Chains A and B, each alone.
Chain A
Amino acid sequence: MAETTIGPAESPSPRQPGRRGIIADWASDQQAFKNVSWGKAMIWIFLLSDTFIFGCFLLAYMTARMSTTVPWPNTAEVFALHIAGHSVPLLLIAIMTFVLISSSGTMAMAVNFGYRHDRRKTAALMLATAALGATFVGMQAFEWTELIMKGVRPWANPFGAPQFGPAFFMITGFHGTHVTIGVIFLLIIARKVLRGDFDHGAPGFFTSRRGRYENVEIMGLYWHFVDLVWVFIFAFFYLW
């Protein structure tokens, strides 16, 4: 990775290549992440900790599924949608996946237009992201309702191993909560963008640091992470 992006931190020194560069950065005084601001380093460390939380959930699910003597429910049938008399396996989950990926795409472009100080396009793309995220949560609510109506509970279900219930509610519930929080923050940041807070560096409400368009990228990092977690849930919980 010869070229690296220069961030807003003051006077980043040129990086030495390869392993020597990592050692030099880590061993240097005060700041290990040279071209990354305080906010961006912190969101990355938060996302790392969140990775461990979702990692633990998926491992708990794996342990329950591997150690149960009762057959695991067939997710293709449990999550099938009935359309015009045909049963299409996992259709709703596939649509949810495409919706979340699309929201990631609009968010990535919002970050880009943010750094170009294009207020309107940034806010419009962030609102589109929030709308797609809300759609995702809505479909998840529909999916939960369907399963609860079929008799799935955190302690039992009619399809097989009872551990399916708690694994489903915990994993998708925690992910859905992340999406919901993301939608709320998207709306807050989009309002700040529209108002021009990041053009004249209005102070934020928690830290009273001057707002910058980097806030849009930090928001984006969180949002892409939510999409990333869904990739793993889709693979391990729904497809496996």
Chain B
Amino acid sequence: MTQAEAQEHGAEVAHVPTAAARAEGQQHSIKLYLVVWGWLFVLSTCSYAVDYFNFQGYLRWSLIVTLMLLKAGLIVAIFMHMAWERLALAYAILVPPLLILVFLTIMALESDYTALTRILWFGTQ
């Protein structure tokens, strides 16, 4: 790790002692992790509150998904350092899981159809 490369860390290097010698890999301030930790606690409390206060219907589902995605985003971006990786890696890892949404659509259609045939069949019994 040369001096020039270490400089690319920018401001984050400043608090590390003997920056040039020690600046390797993913180093960010401890405060950042503590802030993210705090936010994850807040968001988890909120999603627990969704159940505790017994919200129902679209309000419940949209709150659950929003809080879930916020938590997942914080974990991947900060804790797993994806925010600091090159886009070539980030896209290679983050885009393929979107295919699950295609699968989800197929299975949602399929299970609607299954439920319908079950209702019709059990109705004739």
Contact = CB atoms under 8 A, between A and B. Distances in A.
B1 interface: yes
Interface stretch (A152-160, A178-186, A220-228): A220-228
Main secondary structure of the interface of A (DSSP, over half): helix
B47 A235 contact: yes
Closest 8 pairs between A and B when the two form their complex, measured CB to CB:
A25-B88, A66-B111, A105-B37, A67-B114, A235-B68, A67-B111, A55-B100, A5-B84
Contact of B88 (A22, A115, A217, A228): A22
Interface of B: 1, 5-6, 8-10, 16, 22, 24-28, 30, 33-34, 36-37, 40-41, 44, 47-48, 50-52, 54, 60-61, 64-65, 67-68, 71-72, 75-76, 78-81, 83-93, 96-97, 100, 103-104, 107-108, 110-112, 114-115, 118-119, 122
Contacts of B84: 1, 3-5
A174 interface: no
A90 B107 contact: no
Contacts, number: 192
Contact of B51 (A25, A89, A109): A89
Interface string A59-70: 100111011110
A201 to B, nearest CB: 13
Interface residues of A, number: 69
Contacts of B107: 59, 62-63
B39 to A, nearest CB: 10
B51 A232 contact: no
Interface in A35-83: 35-36, 41, 44-45, 47-48, 51-52, 55-56, 59, 62-64, 66-69, 76
A107 B80 CA distance: 10
Contacts of B78: 108
B25 A3 contact: no
A141 interface: no
A68 B36 CA distance: 39
A193 interface: no
Contacts of B103: 55-56, 59
Interface in A223-240: 224-225, 227-228, 231-232, 234-235, 238-240
